[in-house]
Each structure stands twice: as structure tokens, then as C-alpha cells.
Amino acid sequence: MSTYLNAHEMLKEVRYGLDDYSDEKLKGTDTTSVFQNDYLMRKINSAQQRIYSVVFTRKPSLFLESAELTGVDSVYTLPWDFGAIDHFNDDRGRQVHPIRTDALKLEGSVGSDRLYYRKGNTLVLDQSGITDTYTLWYFRKPRNLDQGTAVSGTTNVIQLAESAPKRADYFNGMTIENVTQDWVSTVSDYTAERVATVVGTAEEFDYYGIVSDLPEEFHELVVKRAILEVKAQHPAAKTPPTPAEVQFFNDQLDDVIAAYTGDERDVDPEDIWTDFDSYPYVYYY
């Protein structure tokens, strides 16, 4: 079983796969390569999103999360890693149901605090003035990976490179590896100034890589998919992907999908109540 790859290691493997590796190119001190690191990282993130979409359709429960959201005049802001709603509960555990905007409360009526509609990156209750804490169960989306050198660092703090997103909380809960200092930590907080709170000491120019929150079994496949995308799309690629390479990747993906997202031991309760295959006869009365 494979182990995780941080984004710095993924970039290294992609460069190897393109026959364009050097330590200087990987670290960005040599910018003569036709494949710039920011371009390759875009392809790595593109590959991650593609594989996520395949895995999600087979086993969405792998990406199920919950978050406690506090209302501001009945408006609940969605988490940064929000992808799709599973269900939304009020402060008493009762489900809050979606409503179409053309079915909202009539003017002058109170409305319901158990109905909501989606507006941008928020959920808005039909009844105004609610400040209770509700629970959102949702499927997270894949957040883009990042790698590079730290702008600054100190005890339990590392400021990421300019390539990192300037979005507060974006990397919260994700794993970061400081390659230079050889430590791994979960990001407990992330600011719009690209400052991550971690467990470990960092310094300026430390090399780091964010770890994909796809299951580890798919990390190598992200690398291989990214290599295929570069070969297929970049005009400077030495050779396009061959049918054999594409088939080999597809076979690997199928094998991992089957092994990781499907198991004959998984039994849906509905199958228990409706499966009569084990009975040789079905009697009708």
C-alpha cells in the first residue's frame, strides 16, 4: 500500500516522469525548464480534481464532513472545503430542508427556521433573525495543493509562498510537510496572509508541501495523471502519451477504485430487506 505524497514530492515525480528533473528545477532556482513549477502544479491540481470526481461518484462517504455554523441574522457561511450538502440540522438536531426562492415566506409573515435556500457561499434561513448554531453535514471538495519555500517561520508558524491561496481557513485540517526541517503537521489555522499554524518550527526558505486529502492510495495516480496531461497538452513535451501509457493508467485507476471504494462486505441495509437470492423458493400466499 502506498504512502502519502506531499506536493513537493509530487512535483519531483512529475519532473522525473517528463524526463526534466534536476534538484535546481524542482526547487525553482533553475527557471530554464520549458515546464515551470507553477504550470506543473496546475496540472497536479487538475489531476487531483479529476480523480476526486471519479472516487466521489463511487464512495462519497470518504469525503463526508460536519461543521458547526453560527448564524448571523439567519445567514450561515459555508466552509472553504464545501462541495455539496448532505444535510443541515438545527440546534435541536432536527433537519432543515431546502426551499426554492420562489416559495419563500410571504411579506409580513415570520417564515420558518427549518427551511433554507442557497445564496452564493451561504445558506439563508426562511425566518430572519436566527443566530443559533446549526450543524452542516457536507461533502468536502478537493482543495488545491501548494508547494514552495516559506516566506518566514518560527515556532508553530509557517508563512507559505505567494503561490498559496489568500483565503482564510483554506488549508485548515490539511496536512503540511516541512521537507527541510523534516516534520509533518496538521494545519490548525490558516490566514488570508498565507500564515499557517502548525506543530513544528519553521524558518525562511524551508521547503514544504501540502498533502492531498484524497486517500493515500490515489496519490501516485494523481502524479501519473498529471504527467499524461502535460504530455498531451504542452507543445514542448517530448512525446505524447501512448495508448499503452493511457491504458496502463486506466487499469491502475480501475484496480484502486475497485479495491478502495467497493467491497463485497459492504452491505446496504436496503439490500438486506429486499434480497431473496439466498432462498431457493419464494412462496406466494
Between strands 195-201 and 189-190, the pairing is antiparallel
Enter the C-alpha cell of residue 29. Answer: 532556482
pLDDT recorded at residue 231? 96
Ramachandran angles phi, psi of 124, nearest 5°: -120, 125
Q: How many CA atoms lie within 13 A of 65 on its CB side?
A: 18
CA gap 41, 223 in Å, rounded: 10
In 3-state terms the chain splits into helix, strand, coil percentages (rounded to 5) of 30, 25, 45
Q: Which residues pair with 116 in a beta bridge?
A: 98, 125
CB atoms under 10 Å from CB of 83, counted, come to 16
Question: How far is C-alpha 71 from the geometric centre of its chain's CA atoms?
Answer: 25
pLDDT recorded at residue 110? 82
Provide CB contacts within 8 A for 31, sequence distance 6+. none
pLDDT recorded at residue 263? 57
Query: What are the average pLDDT values for consecutive 10-residue runs of the chain, which has 285 residues?
Result: 83 96 95 95 97 92 95 95 95 94 73 93 95 97 96 98 95 96 97 98 98 94 97 91 94 90 58 48 39
Between 219-233 and 37-58, two packed helices, what is the crossing angle to 10 degrees?
120
SS3 129: coil
56-112: pLDDT as tens digits:
999 999 999 999 999 999 999 999 889 999 999 999 999 999 998 887 866 567 889
∠ CA 210-215-219, nearest 5°, is: 60
pLDDT recorded at residue 80? 84
223 in Cβ contact with 4 (< 8 Å): no
Identity of the amino acid at 105: K
pLDDT recorded at residue 283? 39
